[in-house]
Amino acid sequence: MAEERMQAPANMDVGEIKSPESDVDPADSVEFNQAEAVALAYVDEDRTPYGGPMARRQLSFEVLETQRLGSDIRVRIGYRPSSGFSGRPGEEWLLVNPDGVVRTRELIRRPSESPPWVLISLAALSVIAAVILIPVIILRADPTGDPLFRAGRTLWMRASPPTLVTEVQYPGRTLDGDIVNYRIAGPAEGLMAVTQITLFNQTSQQVSVAIDENAAIMTDIDGNEYKPINVVERSLGLTGSISPEYRYPDFIGLWRSIVIRAGESLTGMLLFEVPADFEADRFTWRASDTIQVGFQN
């Protein structure tokens, strides 16, 4: 397959920033409405990801945000129990293709009840008294209930278990706006581990994140560490069409520095060159914060 080095695609540099107040092009309103209807019907029918008691409760759904991502449309859905609930609703993203088919679904967070402040105050007094008498070790728990979510000092992060591939091909645009197909080839011997990262800034006014070879580490079960590859330099333009075997239609490579403001999130993918017998043990994020996710049960 003939190939040439191309100008880095615009959607490769920093991933996708999702702002709570996105502007909607009026020309997209019909397609957005159709995608929203598909997404709402999909989550109402399949509640398995909510798990346990939440999946069996009567739930209310609403569209929080709709965005265009290439030819696909991403819809952010909020969900909460219809009655007896006063806390923060859960959220999830769905990617709907032009044929009205849900391509991917990602749970962002689960509903959380409002804190019972009276009980918390009483508990705080009890803790203060206990500290005087008994040494206490406090461990940070994961409030989402999802084992892939972790909280750092300033950021929340979700890292998906890596997918092992020999090559990635995806459609994108150059900085001039031209539509071009790209490929990222794996090593001559071995594979590439592709993991999707989502970073949330829910507390700080803004967080500066430098996404480069030192931004993260993938560790295998033998303790070997692997750094992410430069997806901008490694992206090569294709002269032909994309092979279905290697197609990543929603690929967004993470590379370069970015500022994540309060209430915004960053989503994209990191690639690691790994041996053919690679088995992931954990992923560690190191840019502007230190957050770790384990993949072994």
Q: Radius of gyration of the chain from Cα atoms? A: 21
Could you give the C-alpha distances from 161 to 104, 136, 184, 220, 227, in angstroms and in order?
15, 34, 20, 12, 16
Q: For the chain, report the end-to-end CA distance as a whole number of angstroms.
A: 41
Give the chain's mean pLDDT.
Answer: 78
* Mean pLDDT along residues 31-37: 91
Average pLDDT (56-84) is 88
CATH of the domain spanning 149-294, picked from 2.60.40, 2.30.30, 1.10.3470, 3.30.70: 2.60.40
Higher pLDDT, 282 or 143: 282
What residues contact 54, with CB distance under 8 A and at least 6 apart?
A: 47, 81, 90, 110, 111
**Quick one: which of 163, 182, 262 has its CA closest to 11?**
182
How much is the pLDDT for 106? Answer: 85
The pLDDT of residue 86 is above 90: no
pLDDT range class, residue 226, cuts 50, 70, 90: very high
Give the three-state DSSP class for 171: strand
Tell me: the pLDDT tens digits for 132-150? 343 333 233 333 455 556 7
Q: How far apart (Å, rounded) are the C-alpha atoms in residues 242 and 74?
A: 22
- How many angstroms separate the CA atoms of 22 and 136, rounded? 45
Q: How confident is the model at residue 71 (pLDDT cuts 50, 70, 90)?
A: confident
**How many CB atoms are located within 10 Å of the residue 99 CB?**
7
C-alpha dist (Å) from residue 158 to 35, 39, 99, 220, 267: 25, 22, 29, 18, 9
Q: Where are the domains of the chain?
A: 149-294
Mean predicted confidence (pLDDT) in 73-88: 86
Residue 251 has pLDDT above 60, yes or no: yes
Q: Structure pTM?
A: 0.52
Q: Write the pLDDT tens digit of every residue in 198-213.
A: 888 877 788 888 999 9
